Structure 1
Amino acid sequence: MEKENILELGSAQIADVLMSAEEIRHLIALFLADLLEPGWRQNQVLILLALAGLAWLLHGAGGRMIDNRVRATEGWQKWQLRVIVQIKRRMGLILFAAMSYAVYLVMQSVTWPSRSYLIGGVATLAATWVLIAYLGRLVRNRFLRQVVVWGLWVYATLQFAGLGDEVSVFLDDLALEVGDFRISLLTLLTAGVLIGALATGARVANKTIATRIRRNEDISPSMQVLAVKAVQIFLYGMAFFLGVKAVGIDLTGLAVLSGAIGVGLGFGLQKVVSNLVSGVIILLDKSIKPGDVISLGETFGWINALGARYVSVVTRDGREYLIPNEDLITGQVVNWSHSDEFVRLDIFFGTSYGCDPHVVRKLAIEAAANVDRVLKHPKLPVCHIVGFGDSSVDYILRFWIRDPTGGLTNIRGNVYLALWDTFKENDISIPFPQREVRMLEDADPAPVTD
């Protein structure tokens, strides 16, 4: 008995859907039949077709003019080029809307208003399409942008044709029902458009808030990154839940399922979760921040960005390493600019025993102090004797810099060149090991036998 009731209910719903579709087709047929009858309504259609053809011709000519102008002018910025591309892509629709409005205003002045209502409505619809297309550019996700734009285009067109209510009823009848749970095609479309609009608003708000946070000099760079990430998660999460709630989708039934999925993900994604937690710890303890120069194993570079899962480290040769956050927490990391920006570098050299070590030390300090990037205040270069070698007196020259991001190898090379030039000018010799080979001859060579 229950099965028969369910079948009867399903048949009734199918009949309602088919009836609604038949009504929509009937309304469309009546609308087209009215357009084909001779009179001012048909004349308006012919005028609109002529304007569409003219807009299409002007679209091609205007596109070529824009291309020539852009190629002939240099110095365009990226956002200007994007705007030009969007204008060129929709120039035909823009021209059609503008010309339709112009014709509509002229006909309103010279003839009866009832003879131009269709032109005015189409002009409004075309202008609405243009506005929707440009507002859709705010949605960065391509798929979500297409859903929002096409959904709003269809909605605007149906409202213009007077079929909005009928189509809404038709889409609402196409529903999936399981117990008390019901979701229709209209609900899904509305949710997609609404979530896309809310996500766009969240992105704009997040960008504005992030800009203000980064401009606040009282907040450390690591806390700025953490605050921006927190605001981003909050805004996008609120956009999703508000969009789902606004269309009437109840998420309480998914609580148990989401809990089970969370347990499974917790076991399967331990490394990912560990990296996420490590990233939060790094941001909170401020041990590493954007711009710091670090050494991790064979990798030496500066922090480019702090991510939720990894840290981007850029080296001097242009390579970008994505180091997991967990490695920075559990491994030994050398942060050259953690507490301050001062970095000390050491280089070793030797001079011959015939050179006065007091003069050598003085000349070495002066040579290092004259090199760019070497600090002269408050940390001065120093030079010390570290030993007496086999063929030279060994020295260590220590100097400080405060811009390790500029490189370490290059500044060492510059200091070595300055030492070479200074020693050469002052007759300071840099010895090198010499070896003497002596050929020994036997006193009583053995007799040669056959």
Structure 2
Amino acid sequence: MDPQETLPIDPEAIRGFWEFLSSEGAMLMREAMRPWTIYQIAIVVGLFLLAWTLRAALQPRYAEWLRARDNWPKWRLRIGLIVQRRMRMILFVAMIWVVYLVMKELTWNSRTVLLRVVANLSTAWLFIAFATRMIANPALGVVVRYGAWTWATLSILGWTDETQATLESLAVTIGETRLSVWLILKAIVVMAIMLALARMMTGASAASIQRNKDISPSMQVLAVKVLQVVLFGSAFFIALKSVGVDLTGLAVLSGAIGVGLGFGLQKVVSNLVSGIIILLDKSIKPGDVISLGETFGWIESLGARYVSVVTRDGKEYLIPNEDLITGQVVNWSHSNDFVRLDIYFGTSYHDDPHKVRKIAIEAAKGVERVLTFKPPVCHVVGFGDSSVDFILRFWITDPTGGLTNIRGNVYLALWDAFQENGISIPFPQREVRVLNDRPEAADKTLMAGAD
């Protein structure tokens, strides 16, 4: 076997690229020694210092003007902030293009080559800086910024073909697939662009769906999640297809992986399916107040694997979707927001029960959050050992405001009303009787038994 066939790198391509860089470097050195090149470098440095000075003078005034634009939308304020941070480069690009166009009319084109190259490079950098600032992910923004800047520099200098040929020569062959550095870089760039577009489309579509009041909250969550899966999955496969990756083998591999995941991740898959069922049957939705075992709170969000439930004490429980499907869940606000609460109390047998019922109902009506169009009711439920037992039932519509506190407020209202009307709340009493036996007789009996 020829040793050259096993090498993933083409030595001839590397040698050619090195010779190209050497020739280009020699030519740049010769150009740099010419007087007009030195003059152009001096002009570039002078314009940069002038832009620095103008930025120092103009930026404070611009910042003060921008702070006064508090009625602008966020996207416009964001662009204004980017302009403030890139003011020096904006001034430099504007001035160097003016100088280049003027000198192009006054002198030969060969004496403005460096100015044209610097103007193009600075313009490309400014455009790329503005474009990548719109990327929300900082790490992705840095990668895209410097990658685009590198490619723009190679394009402006005319080195793209030689660079591409060299990157194509750096390759590894696996079976019938040939992976080169150029193919990997192109795949990364296309993937980043497609994912960024998918993210923008998902964000815009999600905002539009959430503004639609005709769609229930649970269906909004389901629609957004389906849209995310479709867009990001499409972006992934389109990016792979665009760089020439054969998706046939990937389909077979994904099928085998799916079978393995089905056996190994049964709980995860069960939670995912349960989450879809919850979204489809609308049994619970964000904002509902539920009870599951000893957990009582309102649903903060519906996830693919779990439901976030926030309790009154600020704790956030992540309940698996499967538990909500298989367990008994109390949804306090499933079909409507009306919630009935019951409290128990007792009064003395000396008090008129008819009067107690009226006083209890009026007291409950005066408590905030207790509904008056669904009036409270009070009934006698039994005759206890030391009291007549009553039940007071009332309705509320805001269980997220708490249940214990509203019960406590109704109890306080009953206490105040009973105090004003002379109604007594009894408590158990016990009588202890001491038998009249003489201690001496008891001692003699014990001694006789001992003998």
Match of 1:196 among 181, 192, 195: 192
| Deviation larger for 360-369 or 86-95 | 86-95
Contact 1:312 1:323 in 2 (8 A): yes
For 2:77 and 2:16, the matched residues in 1 are separated by: 50
Match of 2:19 among 22, 37, 40: 22
Partner amino acid, structure 2, of 1:317: D
Deviation, 1:56, is 5.3
| Deviation larger for 353-362 or 423-432 | 423-432
2:161 alignment partner in structure 1: 165
Match of 1:44 among 19, 40, 60: 40
Alignment of 1:279-358 (within 5 A): 279-358=275-354
Alignment of 1:96-111 (within 5 A): 96-105=92-101, 107=103
1:276 alignment partner in structure 2: 272
For 2:186 and 2:358, the matched residues in 1 are separated by: 80
Deviation, 1:100, is 2.6
Measured against aligned partners, the alpha-carbon deviations of 1:341-388 in whole angstroms (never above 9, x if no partner) come to 1111111111122221111111211111122221122x2211111111
What is the SS of the residue equivalent to 1:445?
helix
1:420 alignment partner in structure 2: 415
Partner amino acid, structure 2, of 1:158: L
Unpaired runs of at least 5, structure 1:
none
Alignment of 1:46-61 (within 5 A): 46-55=42-51
What is the SS of the residue equivalent to 1:390?
coil
| Deviation larger for 42-51 or 91-100 | 91-100
Deviation, 1:423, is 1.8
Q: TM-score, normalised by structure 1?
A: 0.88
Alignment of 1:234-249 (within 5 A): 234-249=230-245
Deviation, 1:75, is 11
| Deviation larger for 103-112 or 25-34 | 103-112
Name the Cα RMSD after superposition: 3.3
Contact 1:305 1:313 in 2 (8 A): yes
Alignment of 1:2-17 (within 5 A): 3-4=1-2, 7=4, 10=7, 13-17=10-14
Match of 1:394 among 389, 392, 407: 389
Contact 2:167 2:182 in 1 (8 A): yes
2:254 alignment partner in structure 1: 258
2:448 alignment partner in structure 1: none
Cα distance change, pair 314–66 in 1 and its aligned pair in 2 (3 A): farther
| Deviation larger for 85-94 or 328-337 | 85-94
Measured against aligned partners, the alpha-carbon deviations of 1:148-179 in whole angstroms (never above 9, x if no partner) come to 22221111111111212221222122122234
Deviation, 1:73, is 12
Contact 1:191 1:244 in 2 (8 A): yes
2:128 alignment partner in structure 1: 132
For 2:367 and 2:434, the matched residues in 1 are separated by: 48
1:384 alignment partner in structure 2: 379
Cα distance change, pair 15–229 in 1 and its aligned pair in 2 (3 A): same
For 1:412 and 1:78, the matched residues in 2 are separated by: 45
Contact 1:226 1:280 in 2 (8 A): yes
Q: TM-score, normalised by structure 2?
A: 0.87
**Residues 1:363 and 2:369 aligned together:** no
Partner amino acid, structure 2, of 1:237: G
Unpaired runs of at least 5, structure 2:
445-451
- How many percent identity over aligned positions? 59
For 1:117 and 1:201, the matched residues in 2 are separated by: 37
For 2:426 and 2:442, the matched residues in 1 are separated by: 46
**Residues 1:432 and 2:449 aligned together:** no
| Deviation larger for 87-96 or 71-80 | 71-80
| Deviation larger for 271-280 or 426-435 | 426-435
